[in-house]
Each structure stands twice: as C-alpha cells, then as structure tokens.
Amino acid sequence: MAKGYRPVDRDQPFLFPPDMREWLGPDHPVWLVIGVVEDHLDTSAFHACRKTGGAGAAGYDPDMLVSVLVWAYAHGVRSSREIERLCATDVAFRVICAGNLPDHATVARFRAQFPGAVAVFFAQVLALCARLGMGKLGTVALDGMKIAASASKAANRTEDGLRKLAEQAVAAHAATDAAEDELFGAGRRGDEVPEEAWSPRRRDERIRRALAELEAERTAAQAAEQARAEAYRVRRRAGERAGCPPASVAVEMAQENLAQVRARQQATIEDWHARNAASLAATGHPLRGCPPVPADRHCRVKQAEAKLAATKARAAEAGRKAAAREANRKGPGPVRNITDPDSRLMPVRGGGFIQGYNAQNVTGEDGLIIATELTDDPVDGAWFGPMLAKAAGAAALIAAHRPAAGPEPDGIGLALADAGYCSQANLTCPGPDRLIAVGKGRDLEKAARDPDGNGPGWGGPAIQAMRERLKTPAGIAAYRQRGHIAETPHGHIKHNMGLRQLSVRGKRKAAAEWTFAAAVHNLFKALTAGQLTSQALTALTQTPA
C-alpha cells in the first residue's frame, strides 16, 4: 500500500539560518581545495594583483577566486561566463564563493593577471605534494603535447597577405577620417573616446606585429646565412680546413679558386721566362727543359675549371628544385596568425596541423608534472637540455620539502624521452642518466628481440651507444615506462579536465594558463592518490613547512 510522498513546499522558510557546511558532506573534495588554498599555499602573489572588484566597491578575496578557478579547471570549465553561472547554481561553487558571486568580467580580469603569479603557485603546489610524500623521481619522462590556441588556422596570413591587410586598414582609417572631418570638421572635438576603449582587440596592432615578425625572421635568416658565408671565406683565405662551402658562396669560392690557380701558373710561366732571359744574357744558353705549359692547358687549371662547372651545375639544379618545391608546395609558406601572433601551426599525430603551442612537460613516476614550459616551437629536440635543467630545480624543491623519513632519492635517477629528442647534443649534455629512443617504438622492440639482427644505423658515437643500450633487456625494460609516465598526464588534462584549447591569447598569458592547469593536475593527483586528505592537512598544519 502506498505511503504517500514527501511534501514539496517551496514556500517553507528556513526555521534557522542555514549552515553552508551542511550543504556538502565533510568528505567532499571541495573542502580540501578550500583548505589547501587558504591554509597551505602562499597566495601573496595573487593578493598583489590589481583590485578584484568594481570601481568604488570592495574587491573579491583572491583566495576565493583562486579556489573557484582551481575547481573550475579540474572539472573542465574555463569559460568565465560559465563560471559565473555555476557560482550561482552549483552547490560546490557556491560553497567556495560563500555567497560572493563574482561576475564573468571579474573572473576574466583576475585570470588575465596570472602571468605574474602562476609560477609561484605551481611551485607551491609541488612543494605541498612533496610534503605529502609525493614526487617519485627515480624515473622521469619528458614529452611534448600540442595544445590548440585561442585562434583559428583560417586567421593565418602570409607576408603578402599581411601587407594587403595593413594597406586595407590604412585605407579604411583614411576613409573614416575623411568622413568624420566632413561631418564634424577637421579639428578634434575634445570628447573623443580613446583608441584603446573603442578597439580593445587592436587588430591593426596585431597585423603590424605579425608582419614585423615575419620580416624579422627573414632578415635574421639572411643575416645568419651571410655570417656563415663570411666565416667560410675567412677560414679559406687563412688556409684552414673549411669543409664544404655554404650554397650561397659555393660558386664564388670556386671562381676564386680558379683565379688563384691560374694566377699561380701564370706567375710560374713569367718566372721561367725571366730566368731563361737571364741565362741567355749571362751564358748564351737557354734553360734546360721544356718551358711551362700555358695556364689554360695546365692540369690544375683544368681541374679548377671542371670544379667550377660542376659547382655551377649543382647551383642551377638546386635552384630548379627550389623553384619546383615552391610551385608544388601545398601550404602557403611562412605565415602568422592575426588573432594570436604568438601561436604557430603545429603538426599533430595522425596528420594535419592545429593552430597552437607545444607544451613541454617533465613527469615523475607518480604522475606529478614537476616541470613545464609552453613553447611556440613545433619540434621538441631543442628543449631537452632546458627542461632537464628545470626538472633538476624542481627535484631540489621536492627534496627540500619531502619528509625526512622518505625513502626516495633526492635527485633524478633516469630521464626518458622519445625519438623527437634524439641528437648527439642531447645525449651528451650535462644532467642525469637518460634513455632517448633512436627510432619508433616498434623498431626498438624488434631490435631488442633480435639484438644481432640489425647493423649500425644513423648517428654518431653517442647515438650508436644508445642504440646498443636499448637492445639490452634492462635498457628496453626501462624505456617501456616512458609511455605510461609521460602520456598519462596529457590524457588526463585533455580528456578528463577537458583542456584541449587555451582560453587566452598571447604566449605570456597562454603559458600562465597552461602552468595553472598543470598545478591543478598535480593538486588533484594528490587527492585521487589518497595523499591529500583532511587528516594529512591537519598533520601538515601541526608540522612546520
């Protein structure tokens, strides 16, 4: 028999003032986030930011705003308008705000001030994780992750395209000025709105900046080529071994060599005739032997002429191939994005490109990102040394905050990286022991199963030694950890946190947002691993840092 239903009376007032702590149970993670930010992290860098409220009103507590953003990023929410909505409707967000409901403009302004404070926040979270016993550094892995920028590939323009846009902008401004002069007169009225107010996106400025960057890159490349050519000329003229000449001076050097060889032979001929004339005058007899052959018939001159002809042929062939590549090129060549000029076209796995950045991350065995850097470099190789140096600094920070009784070593034991980082320089630069793949994973596994089946491959001595090391059972077993250590945080950030595209533009702000997301990843890694609990926080409160 039905017992009826519970009454739904939305007009029933609260009999007592509601206690916000009863809205969510004491074991809800939001309380841990609030406790960590307010009691265990130094957020003074955020407090030093500009005012967080409207004109003439008290500002919002930066600790509260940091907690809101940490919770939002952990749950895949980055839109400031969506955060504003959730602060009014979602219980966890309302608990964090404690009745203070920041609007989307406040959230956006606060996030725009991240670049000056996020690096400290990331280090603070890493130190907290170390105090909780995390930060396993026996084996770390370095990997890059392409992440989309807040810009479209369709906004890329070549140098010619940027020039046309700039010309159109100048023409449009001139037409606007002429129309306003006709309407209001040539003089200023005195009440005009400042340019930064009516044009917050400053599109013209971004076009000029993108065009300047392309011109600077072209000028730098030309200067570098000229410097290499001049250095080669200096070495050649000093009689040093100079190797192969740069393509830009190969013909010039071959012509100079021919002129020198011909001049030496001509000097030999003139010297013989002078000595022969002297002998006839003194003894009446000519010199013994045949006179030197004419310069054009001398073997060395012919060799130099053949070398010059071959060099000209190679230069012509190189020019023909360059013209063919230009004619058959699928892409537009060097481009810049007029929405986010700092972003670049990045190749992604499976083919194609995205407009974005390349995040370099060093991850420990327990999934903590110990060092991170957002770059605009499409390739990874140049970042091995700098990231290892940052990881060494992070290892020192972790060692300084780790409990004294911890069994973990203070430094990095072994660094792993894929074939994108393989180079003689990266294998021999200072730092911890390392395993860098010399090919694709399937090729490494095949070589390890049959160590004697493959002959020497490409690369210098260090690469050959690494190839042999990866064939050993110990080497391949250690390298197999790379995928799990390096790729798991990337998958978590992209799929679980939903961070597939950055929300802000410009490398400085984008790097700050990425670093903040990495810090949130670390904080929730400690939570899901069971290291971050209310009991642990209580113990940390009683133990000085």
Domain-located, residue 328: yes
Mean pLDDT lowest among 124-138, 219-233, 256-270: 219-233
100: closest CA among 38, 164, 57? 57
When comparing pLDDT for 427 and 280, which is higher?
427
User: Is there a domain that residue 122 lies in?
Assistant: no
pLDDT band at 98 (very low <50, low <70, confident <90, very high): confident
Question: Rounded distance, CA 519 to CA 369, Å?
Answer: 8
Q: Residue 414 pLDDT more than 90?
A: yes
Q: pLDDT band for position 191 (50/70/90)?
A: very low
According to the model, what pLDDT value does residue 194 have? Answer: 43
Which of the pair, 357 or 248, is modelled with greater confidence?
357
pLDDT at 536: 80
Please give the backbone phi and psi of residue 348, each rounded to the nearest 5 degrees, phi first. -125, 160
Residue 414: strand, helix, or coil: strand
- Residue 484 inside a domain? The answer is yes
Residue 188 has pLDDT above 60, yes or no: no
Supply the pLDDT for residue 259: 87
Residue-wise pLDDT tens digits, 471-491:
999 999 999 999 999 999 999
Q: Which residue has the higher pLDDT, 334 or 302?
A: 302
Residue 521 maps to a domain: no
3-state secondary structure 220-247: HHHHHHHHHHHHHHHHHHCCCCCCCCCH
On the CB side of 181, CA atoms within 13 Å amount to 8
Tokens 């340019």 — which residue?
195
Cβ proximity of 236 and 253 under 8 Å:
yes
Mean pLDDT (the chain, rounded): 82
Q: What is the pLDDT of residue 197?
A: 36
Number of domains within the chain: 3
The answer on 243 and 196 residing in a single domain is yes
| Residue 90 sits in the same domain as residue 133 | no
Average pLDDT over residues 16-40: 84
- Per-residue confidence at 330, pLDDT binned at 50, 70, 90? low
8 Å CB contact between 483 and 143? no
| Within a domain: 119 | no
Name the token pair of 355: 């407009």
Q: Is the pLDDT of residue 419 over 80?
A: yes
Distance of CA 254 to the CA centre of its chain: 41
> What is the pLDDT confidence band of residue 212, given thresholds at 50, 70 and 90?
confident
Residues of the chain with pLDDT > 70: what percent?
Answer: 84
- The amino acid at residue 467 is R
- Looking only at the bridges linking them, the beta strands covering 414-417 and 336-337 are unpaired
- Domain limit, last residue, from 112, 138, 169: 112
Co-location of 444 and 309 in the same domain: no
| pLDDT, position 388 | 95
Residue partners of 351: CB distance under 8 A and separation at least 6: none
Mean pLDDT of 213-230: 74
Going by the DSSP 8-state scheme, the letter that residue 501 receives in this structure is B
Write down the pTM of the prediction. 0.75
pLDDT at 91 over 70: yes
250 shares its domain with 183? yes
Yes or no: say if 252 and 232 are a contact pair by the CB < 8 Å rule.
no
Q: Which residue has the higher pLDDT, 55 or 366?
A: 366
Handedness of CA 478, 480, 482, 488 (dihedral sign): negative
Element holding 373 (H helix, E strand) = strand 369-375
Counting beta carbons within 10 angstroms of the beta carbon of residue 371, is it exposed (0 to 12), middle (13 to 18) or buried (19 or more)?
Answer: buried
Residues 357 and 493 in one domain: yes
Residue 326 scores a pLDDT above 70: no
Report the pLDDT averaged over residues 385-392: 95
Q: What is the mean pLDDT of residues 52-81?
A: 86
Closest CA to 343 of 373, 374, 387: 374
Q: Are residues 312 and 354 in the same domain?
A: no
Residue-range definition of the domain harbouring residue 288: 156-339
What pLDDT does 196 receive?
A: 39
Q: CB–CB of 295/269 below 8 Å?
A: yes
**Is the pLDDT reported for residue 117 higher than 60?**
yes
pLDDT tens digits for range 32-45: 999 999 988 888 88
**Residues 207, 166: Cα–Cα separation, whole Å:** 7
Distance between CA atoms of 231 and 228, rounded to whole angstroms? 5
Q: Is residue 402 part of a domain?
A: yes
Query: Bridge partners of 435?
Result: 416
Question: In this predicted structure, what is the pLDDT of residue 121?
Answer: 93
Q: How confident is the model at residue 277 (pLDDT cuts 50, 70, 90)?
A: confident
Q: What is the pLDDT of residues 285-302, one digit of tens each?
A: 888 878 888 888 888 888
Radius of gyration of the chain (CA): 34
Last residue of a domain, one of 112, 142, 176: 112
Q: Name the least confident of 25-29, 227-231, 352-356.
A: 227-231
Q: Are residues 188 and 318 in the same domain?
A: yes
pLDDT at 422 over 90: yes
Lowest mean pLDDT among 153-167, 229-243, 330-344, 518-532: 153-167
Least confident of 15-24, 74-83, 349-358, 517-526: 15-24
- pLDDT tier at 192, thresholds 50, 70, 90: very low
Same domain flag for 50 and 172: no
Interatomic CA distance for residues 344 and 354, integer angstroms: 8
Contacts of 494 (CB under 8 A, 6+ apart): 145, 147, 500
pLDDT higher than 90, residue 361: yes
Q: Mean pLDDT across the stretch 415-426?
A: 93
Lowest-confidence region among 172-181, 349-358, 534-543: 172-181
How far apart CA 35 and CA 540 sit, in angstroms, is 11
- Bridge partner residues of 501 (DSSP): 148
249 domain residue, yes or no: yes
On whether both 195 and 240 belong to a single domain, the answer is yes
CB 335 within 8 A of CB 158: yes
Q: Are 142 and 486 a contacting pair, CB within 8 Å?
A: yes
Alpha helices in 284-419 (DSSP H): 299-328, 384-401
| 218 and 316 belong to one structural domain | yes
Q: Report d(CA 136, CA 366) in Å as an integer.
A: 6
417 inside domain: yes
476, 477, 537, 490: which is closest to 367 by C-alpha? 490
Q: Which carries the bigger pLDDT value, residue 51 or residue 339?
A: 339
Indicate if 369 and 397 belong to the same structural domain: yes
**One domain for residues 169 and 263:** yes
Question: Residue 356 above 80 pLDDT?
Answer: yes
Statement: residue 176 has pLDDT above 60: no
Domain-ending residue, one of 85, 112, 139: 112
